[in-house]
Structure 1
Amino acid sequence: MKKISLITVVSILFSLFAYTSVAFAAQNQNTEIKENQISSTQNTKEPDSSKIDDSQTNETDYSIPQEFIDYRKFIGKDISSLNVDTSTWNTDDYSHELWRGSFFEHYGIITVHLGWDNKTIIEFFLRLDDTDKFSDSDRENFDSILQDIFGSNVEEMNISYNYSGKGDYEFQFPKLLDQTSVCALSWNTDTMLAYMNTKPQEEETPSKDTQIIEKIEPAIGMTSDEVKKSTWGEPSDINKTTTKYGIHEQWVYKSPVKNKYIYFEDGLVTAIQE
């Protein structure tokens, strides 16, 4: 029988040790890969909810905007969306002052106008302070913004420029006049007409004793009483401003087709906008 030399034994033991080390390392590597796969699967099934984009939610933003033109998001909504106390409001009055607001750093009082149901918001007014009126250069600066939002259909009227043609809203930009400047934000003609047509029709029974009185159109120089007896009748809303120079009034006549305005200076008509 041949004797195994010491060198041969050492060589065999070294080979066994090397094989065991390689096998153990391979087993550890497989275990680490499996753990990483499990961790990756768990992360895929349970995303971090804190990283979900809130913009994907469908909640309506009813926060009060800084810019007057952004109030259009409330038009067509219930008055409750403004989160304002209406308990002291006169239900016979469809226009109500809210708070101060601004149109690109021009400040005044914001008024809301409600529809026939006395709860649907159909228009907002921004009555600018007497010391803060627009000039023609202001309109030139805002023209591209207003056309981008409300449309390129710009109609020049007696006391304002009317922007419409894009979306469901229109905007009235006031001219520089002696009277109080008022910005108006409302539904466009078609949308306003569609809303007005939802009003329930009331049956009217004509009286045989009713006296027919011929009425005339309002005219420059008329008094407020004469205007009330004219074909325009009572206004939908009256915006009144008293200064050291006198009393200025804007009478607003709401119409499904187009709003109309009459301006008074110390009780006499000075301007009519149809």
Structure 2
Amino acid sequence: MRRKYLLVGIIALILFSCATSRRQDYIKMHPNTNQRIKEAILKGDILLGMTEEQVVASRGTPYKVNRTTGKYGVHEQWIMFFDKPSIFDPKSYTYAYIYFENGRVTSWQNY
């Protein structure tokens, strides 16, 4: 039983370190990014007004993208899946819908 928990912990650590590296790499490559957005990326958060590239740096690539183009521009809905809620962070969620208008976050829903 302990072995199972140890294995789960090791896998979670590896996945977390990959996300941390992706986030830090983005910050290094974009030093002029707004400080508030830098902090959100490093924490894996999403903010209104973030670009698609910033969301990928913060949360990873979307599972699916639904795109609509109309006379007011391009609207996208990103569907993103995450790890199951963690015993270490009960507020974590399993998936999110992130909405973009013309390449900027306008809203999102966490589930």
TM-score by length of 1: 0.22
More helix by share: 2
| Counterpart residue number, 2:48 | 220
Write the distance in 1 (CA, Å) between the matches of 2:47 and 2:101.
Answer: 14
In structure 2, the residue matched to 1:268 is 104
Amino acid aligned to 1:271: S
Aligned to 2:37: none
How many residue pairs get matched? Answer: 68
CA distance in structure 2 between the partners assigned to 1:215 and 1:256 by the alignment: 18
Matches within 5 A, 1:109-124: none
Distance 2:83 2:56 in 1: 20
SS in 2 for 1:229: helix
Larger radius of gyration: 1
* Secondary structure, aligned partner of 1:238: strand
Q: Distance in 2 between matches of 1:229 and 1:259?
A: 17
Provide structure 2 residue ranges, at least 5 long, that are not aligned to the other structure: 1-7, 25-40, 85-93
Deviations 1:25-75 (A, max 9, x none): xxxxxxxxxxxxxxxxxxxxxxxxxxxxxxxxxxxxxxxxxxxxxxxxxxx
* Amino-acid identity (%): 38
- Residue by residue over 1:192-240, the C-alpha shift from the partner in whole angstroms, topping out at 9 and shown as x without a partner, is xxxxxxxxx9x97x6xxx884272311100000011111x221111101
- Computed over aligned residues only, the root mean square deviation of the Cα atoms, in angstroms, reads 2.8
Unaligned runs of 5+ in 1: 1-200
Q: Distance between the aligned counterparts of 1:241 and 1:252, measured in 2?
A: 14
What is residue 4 of structure 1 aligned with on the other side?
A: none
User: What is the rounded CA distance, in whole Å, between the counterparts of 1:233 and 1:256 in structure 2?
Assistant: 12
Find the aligned partners of 1:237 and 1:273 in 2 and give their Cα distance: 15
When normalised by structure 2's length, the TM-score is 0.51
1:234 counterpart SS class? coil
* Pairing of 1:70-219 with structure 2 (within 5 A): 212=21, 213=24, 215-216=42-43, 217-219=45-47
Aligned partner of 1:222: which letter?
M
**Equivalent position of 1:233 in the other structure:** 60
Could you list the structure 1 runs, at least 4 aligned residues long, displaced by more than 3 angstroms after superposition: 255-258
CA distance in 1, matches of 2:107, 2:47: 9
**Counterpart residue identity of residue 56, structure 2:** K
Distance 1:215 1:234 in 2: 16
Please state whether the residue corresponding to 2:42 is helix, strand or coil: coil
CA shift, 1:259, in A, is 2.5
Partner Cα separation in structure 1 for residue 102 and residue 77 of structure 2:
12
Shift of 1:256: 6.3
Deviations 1:145-190 (A, max 9, x none): xxxxxxxxxxxxxxxxxxxxxxxxxxxxxxxxxxxxxxxxxxxxxx
Q: 1:248 aligns with which of 75, 93, 107?
A: 75
Greater RCO, 1 or 2 (C-alpha within 8 Å, sep 6+): 2
